[in-house]
């Protein structure tokens, strides 16, 4: 009887993981769609640096898929986890910081975006616990700092009000370090 119960639990867990994978892939696709106007108005070589959140869910989807297939890549897991945490927090902060801009136009859309990005943070924290740190994980910091530099010195950050952009810039660079440290600590536990 216990074998049947364990099998049932395993089947439920597989379905849940598949659900997470599918929702992240769909979130990636919607995220690229969300940024379509900014992408169309930007040089193509900046595109990869514009779609931060969709990239985060793409990295996570690939990392989760490889993990499911028994081909876990600790660098990719670390990279995905740190990206999920950084950009999940960043988006929630920016939405609240500029709430009069985001929540007056389409409050339902931005409420959903807020909730889903809060869930990115949860995913990142949970996934980091299943990751081991290695020297390649430092490349995450390089990625973050190049991305941050381009966001605030080449203008690739998402469309948002310019009001108090310095606050957002400081937060962004800080989150690069904080999210890296958080994932590093989680990999050591």
**Selection from 122, 126, 56, 43 nearest residue 87 by Cα:** 56
Number of Cβ within 10 Å of residue 63's Cβ equals: 24
pTM score, whole prediction = 0.92
* Number of domains present in the structure of the chain: 1
Enclosing domain of residue 118:
2-188
User: pLDDT tens, 149-186?
Assistant: 999 999 999 999 888 999 999 999 999 999 999 999 99
Contact 158, 49 (CB under 8 A): no
What CA–CA distance (Å, rounded) separates 22 from 139?
Answer: 27
Q: If pLDDT is split at 50, 70 and 90, which confidence band does 52 have? A: very high
- Burial (CB count <10 Å: 0-12, 13-18, 19+), residue 88: buried
Cβ neighbours of residue 37 closer than 8 Å, sequence gap 6 or more: 159
User: pLDDT tens, 4-40?
Assistant: 556 556 767 888 899 999 999 999 999 999 999 999 9
Percent of the chain with pLDDT over 90: 80
User: pLDDT tens, 166-176?
Assistant: 999 999 999 99
What CA–CA distance (Å, rounded) separates 132 from 117?
Answer: 24
Structure tokens at 43: 């040089």
């Amino acid at each position: 009887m216990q074998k049947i119960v364990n099998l049932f639990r395993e089947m439920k867990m597989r379905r849940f993981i598949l659900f997470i994978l599918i929702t992240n892939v769909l979130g990636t696709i919607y995220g690229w769609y969300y940024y379509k106007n900014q992408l169309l108005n930007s040089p193509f070589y900046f595109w990869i640096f514009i779609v931060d959140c969709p990239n985060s869910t793409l990295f996570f989807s690939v990392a989760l898929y490889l993990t499911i297939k028994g081909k876990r890549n600790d660098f990719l897991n670390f990279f995905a986890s740190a990206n999920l945490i950084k950009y999940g927090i960043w988006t929630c902060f920016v939405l609240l910081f500029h709430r009069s801009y985001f929540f007056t136009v389409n409050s339902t859309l931005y409420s959903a975006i807020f909730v889903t990005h809060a869930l990115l943070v949860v995913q990142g924290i949970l996934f980091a616990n299943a990751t081991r740190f290695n020297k390649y994980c430092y490349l995450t910091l390089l990625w973050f700092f190049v991305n941050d530099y381009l966001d605030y010195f080449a203008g690739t950050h998402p469309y948002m009000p310019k009001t108090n952009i310095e606050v957002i810039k400081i937060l962004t660079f800080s989150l690069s370090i904080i999210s890296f440290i958080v994932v590093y600590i989680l990999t050591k536990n």
